[in-house]
Amino acid sequence: MQVQNFGTSRDVMIRLPLQKGPDGKPVTSAQQSEQVIGALQAATPDVKLQRVEFVGPQVGKELATDGLLALLCVVIGIVIYLSFRFEWKFAVAGIIANLHDVVIILGFFAFFQWEFSLSVLAAVLAVLGYSVNESVVIFDRVRENFRKFRKMSTHEVIDSAITGTISRTIITHGSTQMMVLSMFFFGGPTLHYFALALTVGILFGIYSSVFVAAALAMWLGVKREDLIKGEKKAGGSDRDDPNYGAQA
């Protein structure tokens, strides 16, 4: 049950889940509203019932369908962006890591039976964009290190990229987490599950971007030639680069 102000400080909206009666049959919205208003009037006689609204299974089905469609569009957009920005192996690694965050959030809500609403769906989509941004930062540093350190192995290049961005990761996620926690503790019931989904997504987004995305790219066999094949055609051989042979 959720109770929150609606309009003015004297108007209150009460949200109740569907309940079952002693006979096991679902209680109608009219019966529930009568029980609630009766209990309230027993304590405060001047309480008045303004209106009763019922959200049925059709709305829930539309939420699931539209939510999956929105999630699919976001995933396709991320894959296309990463494919043009980097290389298909990074695109696959990035999208698997980002979907990992979504699965973790949905798993928390399913396990603890938290309410899933449109605001939670918005938080899931926000986490997708937030996580892919962190993956892009790491991938970009990997590409930069491939250009600078020609004699490093792929494993060493990825380790160097993660080490070079870890301070930025801690500062960015820490600042964002403080803002989300302020919404969680002081935002009231309206922002409670929204902030909760963001909290879970940000915490696991660090793990997926740093430890999952780059590791998957390495497992898929990404190498220097995959990222700078266009440069070799346009700029000549590797020896033309002043950083040729540089090491960390």
Structure confidence at residue 233 (pLDDT): 44
- Cβ 216 vs Cβ 97: under 8 Å: yes
Query: Cα separation of 14 and 184, whole Å?
Result: 20
Q: Which CATH number does the domain housing residue 140 bear?
A: 1.20.1640.10
Provide the residue-wise pLDDT of the chain in tens; the chain has 248 residues. 667 776 677 787 777 777 777 777 777 777 778 888 888 888 888 888 787 776 655 556 777 788 788 878 877 887 788 778 777 888 888 888 888 888 999 999 999 988 887 788 889 888 888 888 888 888 888 888 888 888 888 889 888 888 988 888 889 889 999 999 999 999 887 789 999 999 999 888 888 888 888 888 888 888 777 666 545 444 444 444 444 444 43
In a domain, 101, yes or no: yes
In a domain, 76, yes or no: yes
Phi, psi torsion values for 180, nearest 5 degrees? -65, -40
Task: Give yes or no: residues 82 and 11 share one domain.
Answer: no
In a domain, 184, yes or no: yes
Task: Give yes or no: residues 12 and 110 share one domain.
Answer: no
In a domain, 48, yes or no: no
In a domain, 51, yes or no: no
pLDDT digits over 112-134, tens only? 988 887 788 889 888 888 888 88
Task: Give yes or no: residues 145 and 25 share one domain.
Answer: no
What is the rounded end-to-end Cα distance, in angstroms, of the chain?
Answer: 58
Task: Give yes or no: residues 19 and 79 share one domain.
Answer: no
Task: Give yes or no: residues 23 and 95 share one domain.
Answer: no
pLDDT digits over 25-55, tens only? 777 777 778 888 888 888 888 888 787 776 6
Tell me the whole-structure pTM to 2 decimals.
Answer: 0.68
Domain count, the chain: 2
Task: Give yes or no: residues 92 and 215 share one domain.
Answer: yes
Task: Give yes or no: residues 29 and 62 share one domain.
Answer: no
Task: Give yes or no: residues 62 and 37 share one domain.
Answer: no
Task: Give yes or no: residues 25 and 101 share one domain.
Answer: no
Task: Give yes or no: residues 191 and 71 share one domain.
Answer: yes
In a domain, 78, yes or no: yes
Please, what's the b/e burial string for 124-142 (b: 16 or more CB within 10 A of its CB; e: otherwise)? bbebbebbbebbbbbbebb
Token pair of 19 as six digits: 């309940």
**For the chain, percent helix, then strand, then coil, each to nearest 5?**
70, 5, 20
Structure confidence at residue 185 (pLDDT): 92
In a domain, 50, yes or no: no
Structure confidence at residue 86 (pLDDT): 76
In a domain, 120, yes or no: yes
- Integer CA distances (angstroms), 223 to 51, 157, 159, in order: 63, 10, 14
Task: Give yes or no: residues 33 and 132 share one domain.
Answer: no
Where in the sequence is the domain holding 90, given as residue range(s)?
Answer: 57-240
Task: Give yes or no: residues 39 and 62 share one domain.
Answer: no
